[in-house]
A and B are shown apart, each in its own frame.
Chain A
Amino acid sequence: MGEGINLYNTVNLAGVFLNRFIAFEPSGHIKHSKYFRMSGNITVYDAVSVISLGGVPFTGPYLGWPLCSFYLYGYEIKRVLEMTLAMGGDFFLQISGLRYTYTPLLGFRAIR
């Protein structure tokens, strides 16, 4: 497995594609944790099965949630992080371009 890419690292995809330095991806939206070998072929099925949910309610029948791009102030980004910690589970955001430390609310939780 050493040559593969852990998908939980590849949540940076939005950041790469949009050339943004901060990107969020809800954990519940990543449907596979498979590894892709560098030498292996990657099919459309592979890509869609990893991020398969959603559609576009505004403009027509498109498969998958579209990427969005916008700007936030620093204190709003902090609110986003606090929100993801409060909600957790599928709503917990996988993040690229940021790192943070927080105080755990209960004993059974890591800090970073």
Chain B
Amino acid sequence: MISIERLTQDGKWVPLDTSPSNTQLYGVGCNLEAVLLVPQLGEMYPVFKITPKNSSGDPVSTEETIVYNNSAPVPDHVGFVKFLSDYLNGTVPSVYNSTQDRVRVWQIDPSLLFAISGVGQLLVSQSNALSLTLGGIACILLIMVVAAAAILTKKP
């Protein structure tokens, strides 16, 4: 992790202080699925252990993190509807109208490379003209995919 910035209330990006000595608490929202994973991940990978807390900094249980409205938990899709209704009324900040400088990640599934090279080798091993041609095409495709990956991943 090189840097982390958080969005402030006045719309500015400021560095997030991730030092252990920083005792400022940051409010987080997510769904229960993610919170349920927190204890398990902490046990499996202690380096990733986190502890949900209340506004006073005291640890809270998973149940205590659930948001209620009239004694009923508020599901994810209600939040989504709220977001859409705000958008239709024009009250959602314009920052949400763009991709917010997100970079589209371009990845290669390694199994695809194995599949292409395997097909190429299989066809080349058959000693007839058609198989050799198809095998050659598969090898050229493999080279093109690797070259494209090398070029694309050079861009930040």
Chain A interface residues (CB < 8 Å from chain B): 5-6, 9-10, 12-18, 20-26, 29, 36, 38, 42, 47-48, 50-54, 56, 58-59, 62-83, 85-86, 93, 96-104, 107-112
Contact = CB atoms under 8 A, between A and B. Distances in A.
Nearest to A96: B7
A74 B18 contact: yes
B27 A79 contact: no
21 contacts: A10-B80, A14-B31, A17-B79, A22-B26, A24-B34, A25-B34, A26-B33, A38-B87, A47-B84, A51-B76, A52-B77, A63-B75, A67-B75, A68-B29, A69-B65, A70-B28, A74-B19, A79-B50, A98-B4, A108-B108, A110-B103
Contacts of A12: 83, 96
B149 A108 contact: yes
B5 A93 contact: no
A9 B101 CA distance: 11
Contacts, number: 271
Interface string B85-110: 01110001000111111111111100
A50 to B, nearest CB: 6
A52 B48 CA distance: 28
A62 B80 CA distance: 16
Contact of B106 (A77, A79, A110): A110
B80 A69 contact: no
